[in-house]
A and B are shown apart, each in its own frame.
Chain A
């Protein structure tokens, strides 16, 4: 069974703080994605990482793919209330196969 473990499950922080969300698996991904979902809406793709060790930045968000392509992290610098939402990591284990999601991290940023 291919599982994606995401942590923490819930995170409540003050505006301006930094945070990191982790995504781990025992299997190697062919690609890994991070999505963000707001209440009542579908997930929206933030980033795709493919190469081991890859780092991508999206404004205050930094995404890292582990060297062995089994794990990833999302770091948010100086969080803002607009960052509040459900962050989901997802991975494809075999090219052309289904996309598997982690259980998500519910982030709340208080002003």
Chain B
């Protein structure tokens, strides 16, 4: 029974390029969450999505960042025109329904911006 799958695990981009991070939730889970983590810090909430809907995007930067969770396929976190400050680990989590706080996390995608 596959868990939350994230890819790529590691991504290197130069300043100004685009980064696309993908997340396939656990089977049967229709809610996806994206978090960002800097070294030795906790996880910062970015966005909460349900299939084809953004439920809460209060943690998303206003520019360059977008997220989607289409009817078919994985959730995508897209960062346009990356800057060095975007370097971080991005974690995706899923749940079967409304948040109870019990989330299942992927292993993360580590973005390095040169």
**Which A residues have a C-beta under 8 Å from some C-beta of B?**
6, 31-33, 40-45, 48, 88, 90-92, 95-104, 106
Nearest A-chain residue to B58, judged by Cβ: A98
Interface contact B101-A103, CB-CB below 8 Å: no
Docked complex: B85-109 residues within 8 A CB-CB of A: 91, 93, 98-108
Q: Which of B35, B44, B56, B102 has the most CB of A within 10 A?
A: B102
B residues in contact with A32, CB < 8 Å: 101
**Which B residues have a C-beta under 8 Å from some C-beta of A?**
4, 33, 35, 40-45, 48, 56, 58-59, 91, 93, 98-108
Interface contact B56-A97, CB-CB below 8 Å: yes
Q: In whole angstroms, how far apart are the Cα atoms of A90 and B102 in the complex?
A: 10
Q: In whole angstroms, how far apart are the Cα atoms of A30 and B20 in the complex?
A: 34
Q: From DSSP, what is the main secondary structure of chain A's interface residues?
A: strand
A residues in contact with B100, CB < 8 Å: 31, 48, 92, 95
B residues in contact with A96, CB < 8 Å: 98-99
For A99, give its contact among B40, B101, B107 (CB under 8 Å): B101
Q: In whole angstroms, how far apart are the Cα atoms of A105 and B35 in the complex?
A: 18
Interface contact A92-B45, CB-CB below 8 Å: no
Q: In whole angstroms, how far apart are the Cα atoms of A43 and B105 in the complex?
A: 6
Interface contact A98-B43, CB-CB below 8 Å: no
A residues in contact with B59, CB < 8 Å: 98
Interface contact A42-B101, CB-CB below 8 Å: no
Q: In whole angstroms, how far apart are the Cα atoms of A40 and B86 in the complex?
A: 18
Interface contact B91-A48, CB-CB below 8 Å: no
Nearest A-chain residue to B40, judged by Cβ: A106
CB distance from A90 to the nearest CB of B (A): 6
For B101, give its contact among A40, A44, A48, A104 (CB under 8 Å): A48
For B42, give its contact among A42, A88, A97 (CB under 8 Å): A88
